[in-house]
Amino acid sequence: MRTIVSRLIHSKQSISGLYVATTSRVVRYLSNDSNKVDEPHKVEEAETVDVPPATSEKLLVLGGNGFVGSHICREALDRGLPVASLSRSGLSSLHDSWANNVIWHQGNLLSPDSWKEVLNGATAVISCVGGFGSNSYMYKINGTANINAIRAASEKGVKRFVYISAADFSVANYLLQGYYEGKKAAETELLTKFPYGGVILRPGFIYGTRTIGSVKVPLGIVGSPLEMVLQHTKPLTKLPLVGSLFTPPVNVTAVAKVAVRAATDPVFPPGIIDVDGILRYSQQKLR
């Protein structure tokens, strides 16, 4: 600091002001009359401005070792965020190098007391938890498990919660009643507990390369061309009963981008984001 001030005093360059940053404050040094050029500038006044410390964000991904969850973890890491994951299996089976940068936790959302500590320090949560099976099982996994997570996150003071739900397929709703009823129950809880920081993404069919064991399944072979076709058939989505079947698929990368943005951007609008919204936000430049 003395060196900087010394250089200012002995400098003959015209300097109207200088900001010197320290770890806890910004100090602004103001020179005297800048019109005088034949005598050195002297520091006559010092003004301090308190600067709040930078906040570190910690993202917790529920179900981070799954198809969608793993892409969300990777997207968050690419944006420089510290990422933790909670799932029933714990450590990811993925052998990609990025997975080594995620903190993997094992826990069951149906037993909240076993994992609540994982929420400590988390500023945002993204839940990708869901599954299929009997109606009672689907309601527990898609509904009760996520409701437990939403309530625990609210109690811990988490700022934002993003839930990966599902588009409304009217006909399929009856065939997978427990699945959709569970999703709707979780959505209702989220909008209640996080009215200003809750975001619900409702993608339809999510495509991308899914890893099953050691086998990679390229779902994009079907999903990508189908997305391009159905994007041009929007009027058909208004048809009664079957209209929702024309909802275009969404790339898993797009879902991941929007989920991470929704979890970390304080001005991202809360509420429900449908397929069109996911596609629109995914194409915008991130902050």
Phi, psi of 106 (to 5 degrees): -110, 135
Q: For residue 235, what is the domain's CATH number?
A: 3.40.50.720
Q: Where in the sequence is the domain holding 35, given as residue range(s)?
A: 2-50
User: 108 and 209: one domain?
Assistant: yes
* Whether 46 and 88 share a structural domain: no
Instruction: Examine the domain organization and report whether 40 and 78 are in the same domain.
Output: no
**How far is Cα 255 from Cα 71, in angstroms, rounded to an integer?**
9
- Same-domain pairing of 65 and 46: no
Same domain, 105 and 245: yes
Digit-by-digit pLDDT tens for the chain (287 residues) are 434 433 333 433 433 333 333 333 333 333 344 444 444 444 344 443 333 334 467 999 999 999 999 999 999 999 999 999 999 888 777 778 899 999 999 999 999 787 989 999 999 999 999 999 999 999 999 999 999 999 999 999 999 999 999 988 666 667 789 999 999 999 999 999 999 999 999 998 888 755 555 555 444 444 344 445 445 555 544 444 444 454 678 899 999 999 999 999 999 999 999 988 998 998 886 55
On whether both 230 and 159 belong to a single domain, the answer is: yes
Same domain, 72 and 175: yes
Strands 43-50 and 59-62: unpaired
Q: What is the DSSP letter of 144?
A: I
Q: Which of 116, 110, 127 is nearest to 59 (CA)?
A: 127
What's the pLDDT at 11? 39
Looking at the structure of the chain, the number of domains it has is 2
Alpha helices in the chain (DSSP H): 2-10, 67-78, 135-139, 145-155, 170-175, 177-193, 220-230, 252-264, 275-283
* Sequence letter at residue 217: V
Shared domain for 108 and 148, answered yes or no, is yes
Tell me, yes or no, whether 115 and 232 share the same domain: yes
Do 31 and 124 share a structural domain?
Answer: no
Please state whether beta strands 206-207 and 209-212 pair in parallel, antiparallel, or not at all (unpaired). Answer: unpaired
Contact yes or no for 11/40 (Cβ under 8 A): yes
d(CA 262, CA 264) in angstroms, rounded, equals: 6
Contact 121, 83 (CB under 8 A): no
To which residue do tokens 């938890």 refer?
Answer: 129
Q: Is 6 in the same domain as 118?
A: no
- Tokens 């990966």 sit on residue: 164
Both 103 and 39 in a single domain? no
